Structure 1
């Protein structure tokens, strides 16, 4: 080393040494900067950056060497071989390019270091090739120790320079890498110069292809300017690239900071390369340094303050293993009461990208949707879907000693309340019924609303008394039947219950529900407001009902219906003034079927609409052919009034038959007015407008008859047969008939008494001033072919 210092102190011009150092620093700075650009690029762009970096680096090394050689005073005239000098430049550029390619081929540190060492070897190759170009009248004797030291210094410092450069692209690391690369070149040169000893030999001279130091100074100056030009070009390109990178970084930072999701990028070792603020907020890591830290260290820090559950080492190991295997992993965790979905997506080259999404609201919506799909919106009780699931679950869990019962409930008279007082009152009533049912059952039981006014209960109890089911059913009937106070109305309804038991009546939900439904129909037939257990014979009755419904649907096509007529007599004149049309079903196999058996079924199934339309048309056709212009009365079902084409049907029946509208009388019951009073009254007024008469049937048996008489001017009111039957035996029936006939006289409305069967009843009606009467006293309903006989024949002395 002493020889090196002596060489610097006595054999070099310090001004030129400083110039060489400046050129070396400048070239090294540009080379490191271009190395960063090449490292950040791929493909052809990287190749361009490597070529430019090799040119700048090679020229810089070459210029540094020959400027430093100009500073060297060997004490004798010297020249430089042109071919060898140029060859040294080629060596510098080529070997630097090779070293850069090696360093950029992998991110492993030993590969980067090897590339740096090759660049250091390029410095040595250029230096000793350049020294071979030196022509002096002297021999050069080399100190082999210093030669080896110069190569080691150049390779070592160049390797360290690239290792520092790849660690991070920031000013501190860039300056450090530039300094190390400068030291690599300078230390190699001057150590190598210290290894030179000149032995004069006058016989040695310069070659014709040599160049003088003055000319070399010019070439070196050109090379230096070339370096400066390339440096300027590289700086401009670098500036533009940095500007673009900065713009991209600003865009990336803006995008990251405005993401609703958290994002974090990790390398293969689990080190955090990139993250946004949302990630830190969601994971509770806002007060921690994250960039460049290992995830394992972060989790250990959180574990120490009880902000992380589980084993950090095990968790990080599993995540890294999944990333190495190329597996995408999705998991859900909870932070500060929020649900966060984490997706780890492996990336090429190792490492993974994790996204963090707050799915708390989404989960709540999904839970709400799931709840709505399985619960009734009005009462919040389980609906049919959840009820079936609970029933299946109960059947699976039931043991031999357990008792499981299915109760199907149907509210009695709910429809009347819903139609008369409106749906808001009906909905409020259903809510109260649901609450009462919930109070009747235990925590092991399930109450559900199956739809409309239909409810169901699954009773599940361990080792309970068999009478527990009957006790529950009785309690439900009692509680549901208690009065309700809703919107200023006191309401009273009932409930009918059908019960099936498992496994006696079935082992699956369909069987149990079907048989509970059959038992429910039996409870309704037995007067409602009660409960019935399923019995074997109920299947046969249900089958018979289904067959009757099938026959009823085909009866119109088979022309099995007939219209019978019962005369209506004027009480004062004792003559026939009209007929009531009554439908009869003459079944091809069963014969005559009672209206009491098929009319309720027709109303329940909606078949009453086509049957009623047929009766209306047929009655008009028959009446148009009668010899006397008496009226014909046709009953309209409440179901028919729901048909929007009712008025058109009446008009078409009159037009097709040619019957004057004044001869047609339509009889409705008060239950029709209960459906939708305003719409119903509008239809009634429209029918009255073209001459049809309107009669109120079964007067006195409904809810608010007097208000209806005031709201619509009926042509006739009919006194129900229940009052006429007991006319001679009960004073209250007599009082009601007297009141109705008096009301009719006051309002100018015709009154007709139904079900007159005795002369005594007829005489009392005459005394009270009743306008008309009909019943078996005069004639039972007869086929249309006997109408003319009833018109001409005097009143028969019939008995009841």
Structure 2
């Protein structure tokens, strides 16, 4: 070891030693970096990286050797044999390639260490071969112990360098490995130089093919710096590129593995190039080898274990053909009870990418949406849309011997129950009705809810008697009319049914439904709780009603309605105290239309609300010009009481006309109080609150008249004309009139008799103490222009 230190201290130029160390360090760094690239590569690509690493590393070691030799000063002139010098370079490259190849064989550290040791032996082989090419007038005597030590140093540090390098690709480990490789080269070289003893010998003959150490070292240094610099730059750039590719690969792998969809990429031959775990899970192929396999082989394996149906050859041929043609395709497959949507998208250059999406929940949601769009949410019965489809289908399937009937159903008095007991009770009642209807029909029939309290049935009967329809209708009427126990209430409703038959009454859905509706209207007009078949005359009556409704709407727009007035006389003073306002329709073509012809239609269509407001405004405006002691009475329909703006309309009419509120009487019937007694009484109290008087019309014709008088203090009760007509001929009528007038006196309520037409009736009413009377005895209803004439002191009496 002392000999080595002496050689290094006294026989070397330290400036060149440092230069050699720099080149050695640079060469080691490049060697380790390229070694990493070689281990990361596979197959032919790895062989290329090993060859490049061996070439660059061998040149670096070789250059380090000859620069260090330039630093060595033996004290006599020397040269180098060109052939041997070149041979030393080739030996360095070859043995280094072997060592690197061994280190890349597997991941075991012992294999890597063996490869590093071979690299150290390569350094030694290059060194001693190069030394044999040294030509100087002296003989070289070697120290075997120091030579062996130099070889051990090179092998040990070379093995350590590669073992550290394979521990990771971090910068710290790369620098440590490069340092150990530098130490392996430098320690070997200077230890080997310490094994030399030169004995001068002038008889030694030089080879003619020699080159001086100075020229060789300068050329070697320049070439080494150039080669190593380029290699180092290329390595750094490659390392960065590999790092960026690695990051992108990690991002791609992360994205692929976290996709909710499965993905599989195929080349032009149908070979699996890329796939994620989700694909294997969704398609049941997680435990199968997939990468690099042909799809047809995978399908054949699945078919052999009973998990694939069909012909794999035909299936794969079709996919490949579609991809070559550039056609995208979408299909739905079922795997283990799940619905998978597969989309095949062709790629440029051949092959295709298949995405796999689990659409089970989505498909269930779509089915649910489709069901909801075609079924009633409350009863789960088919709605109008599905009912029409079923009707069309039944009509297409029906043969001549088949019987098809359409039954339109409407519940009787359902609205009153819904309004008085609330929508939850009404909804529960509708569900129960739907259940009972379902029990009445067969599996060939369809029950639907068309909306509100309207239901429909399509009855399909093959080769059966026409009486089967009547039997079904009778059963439905009976079942629906049976009492219901809902929410602690015992409810009773009825049902009206209209029936049309195919093909007698029509061949299309619209025609059959229309005629069943006409029959339903007739059933309701005949007293409800029954059924009617369509008859030819029903269409004409319905057409006439539609015309009347149309003309009624136009009349409101054209202001064709007038207000007539019939006087109400005080029997004690024999003078007019009020006029009852009555609507008259002066049709542009048909002249005056009787109220009993258009008022029912107006109430059914809701047109009574705007019509009632017109009568109210005109009556108030006309009454404002009468004497202050004459009032005006205006009838209010039950439909008007459902209008939330009723009180506002009354106030507006009074304000617009400047009529005193105590001169306005509003007449209501008992049916108003039936529909929602609490709300109605609240409205009546509000009207009474600002001075309007309230009169109960048609008193005595209902069932609860006396209870109404107790629940609300009416200003007036009107005795129905049916009792006045028979006043002189029937004792019962006389008794009722006497009771009503007596009741009025005891309660302080004015009593008015309607329909007075004879003097005998007038005299009897006055004798019984009736307060007021009106009728044709005094005057028929007349236009507003005749009011002044009727107010004269001696009005003319006329008998109807």
TM-score after normalising by structure 2: 0.69
Q: Distance in 2 between matches of 1:605 and 1:337?
A: 54
Residue correspondences, number = 651
Per the alignment, residue 503 of structure 1 pairs with 503
Per the alignment, residue 394 of structure 1 pairs with 394
3-state SS, counterpart of residue 665 of structure 1:
strand
1:512-661 matched pairs, under 5 angstroms = 512-556=512-556, 560-570=560-570, 575-627=575-627, 629-661=629-661
Q: Distance in 1 between matches of 2:728 and 2:304?
A: 99
Q: Distance in 2 between matches of 1:767 and 1:540?
A: 51
Per the alignment, residue 693 of structure 1 pairs with 693
Q: Distance in 1 between matches of 2:296 and 2:745?
A: 100
3-state SS, counterpart of residue 254 of structure 2:
helix
Q: Distance in 1 between matches of 2:489 and 2:728?
A: 37
| CA distance 1:727–1:299, change in 2 (3 Å) | farther
1:208-227 matched pairs, under 5 angstroms = 219=219, 223=223, 227=227
Conservation of the 8 A alpha-carbon contact between 1:23 and 1:60: no
1:316-335 matched pairs, under 5 angstroms = 316-335=316-335
- Pair 1:255 & 2:255 matched: yes
Question: Structure 1: 5+ residue runs without aligned partners?
Answer: 1-21, 41-49, 69-75, 93-169, 172-204
Per the alignment, residue 352 of structure 1 pairs with 352
Per the alignment, residue 439 of structure 2 pairs with 439
Q: Distance in 2 between matches of 1:66 and 1:32?
A: 23
3-state SS, counterpart of residue 369 of structure 1:
helix
Q: Distance in 2 between matches of 1:319 and 1:400?
A: 50
CA drift at 1:373: 1.8
Q: Distance in 2 between matches of 1:246 and 1:772?
A: 107
CA drift at 1:538: 2.5
Per the alignment, residue 307 of structure 2 pairs with 307
- Pair 1:464 & 2:464 matched: yes
- Greater CA drift, 675-684 or 617-626: 675-684
Q: Distance in 2 between matches of 1:212 and 1:766?
A: 161
| CA distance 1:632–1:269, change in 2 (3 Å) | same
Q: Distance in 2 between matches of 1:488 and 1:700?
A: 32
3-state SS, counterpart of residue 400 of structure 1:
coil
Provide, for residues 52-71 of structure 1, a one-character-per-residue CA deviation record: whole Å limited to 9, x for no partner: 99987986898999999xxx
CA drift at 1:677: 5.2
Provide, for residues 465-495 of structure 1, a one-character-per-residue CA deviation record: whole Å limited to 9, x for no partner: 1222222222222222233233333333222
| CA distance 1:681–1:324, change in 2 (3 Å) | same
Conservation of the 8 A alpha-carbon contact between 1:405 and 1:500: yes
- Greater CA drift, 214-223 or 276-285: 214-223
| CA distance 1:276–1:679, change in 2 (3 Å) | farther
Q: Distance in 1 between matches of 2:43 and 2:697?
A: 100
| CA distance 1:77–1:216, change in 2 (3 Å) | closer
Provide, for residues 763-786 of structure 1, a one-character-per-residue CA deviation record: whole Å limited to 9, x for no partner: 776687654444456554444455
Conservation of the 8 A alpha-carbon contact between 1:59 and 1:223: no
| CA distance 1:223–1:696, change in 2 (3 Å) | farther
CA drift at 1:572: 5.7
1:178-189 matched pairs, under 5 angstroms = none
- Pair 1:714 & 2:708 matched: no
Per the alignment, residue 242 of structure 1 pairs with 242
Q: Distance in 1 between matches of 2:577 and 2:779?
A: 14
CA drift at 1:662: 0.9
Conservation of the 8 A alpha-carbon contact between 1:565 and 1:784: yes
Q: Distance in 1 between matches of 2:481 and 2:594?
A: 33
Backbone CA RMSD of aligned residues: 4.6
Provide, for residues 720-754 of structure 1, a one-character-per-residue CA deviation record: whole Å limited to 9, x for no partner: 44566677888987887677666655654434444
Conservation of the 8 A alpha-carbon contact between 2:271 and 2:294: yes
CA drift at 1:633: 0.9
Conservation of the 8 A alpha-carbon contact between 1:579 and 1:632: yes
3-state SS, counterpart of residue 259 of structure 1:
coil
1:53-64 matched pairs, under 5 angstroms = none
Provide, for residues 84-125 of structure 1, a one-character-per-residue CA deviation record: whole Å limited to 9, x for no partner: 99xx99xx9xxxxxxxxxxxxxxxxxxxxxxxxxxxxxxxxx
CA drift at 1:641: 3.3
Conservation of the 8 A alpha-carbon contact between 1:778 and 1:795: yes
Larger radius of gyration: 2
| CA distance 1:374–1:34, change in 2 (3 Å) | closer
| CA distance 1:567–1:344, change in 2 (3 Å) | same
Provide, for residues 147-191 of structure 1, a one-character-per-residue CA deviation record: whole Å limited to 9, x for no partner: xxxxxxxxxxxxxxxxxxxxxxx99xxxxxxxxxxxxxxxxxxxx
CA drift at 1:33: 7.4
Q: Distance in 2 between matches of 1:278 and 1:734?
A: 94
| CA distance 1:338–1:711, change in 2 (3 Å) | farther
Question: Structure 2: 5+ residue runs without aligned partners?
Answer: 1-27, 66-78, 94-167, 170-206
1:751-762 matched pairs, under 5 angstroms = 751-755=751-755
Per the alignment, residue 151 of structure 1 pairs with none
Conservation of the 8 A alpha-carbon contact between 2:30 and 2:235: no
Q: Distance in 1 between matches of 2:703 and 2:489?
A: 14
Q: Distance in 1 between matches of 2:324 and 2:734?
A: 100
Provide, for residues 385-417 of structure 1, a one-character-per-residue CA deviation record: whole Å limited to 9, x for no partner: 222222222222222222222222222222232
| CA distance 1:750–1:252, change in 2 (3 Å) | farther
Conservation of the 8 A alpha-carbon contact between 1:266 and 1:272: yes
Conservation of the 8 A alpha-carbon contact between 1:80 and 1:213: no
1:710-749 matched pairs, under 5 angstroms = 712-721=712-721, 744=744, 747-749=747-749
3-state SS, counterpart of residue 418 of structure 2:
helix
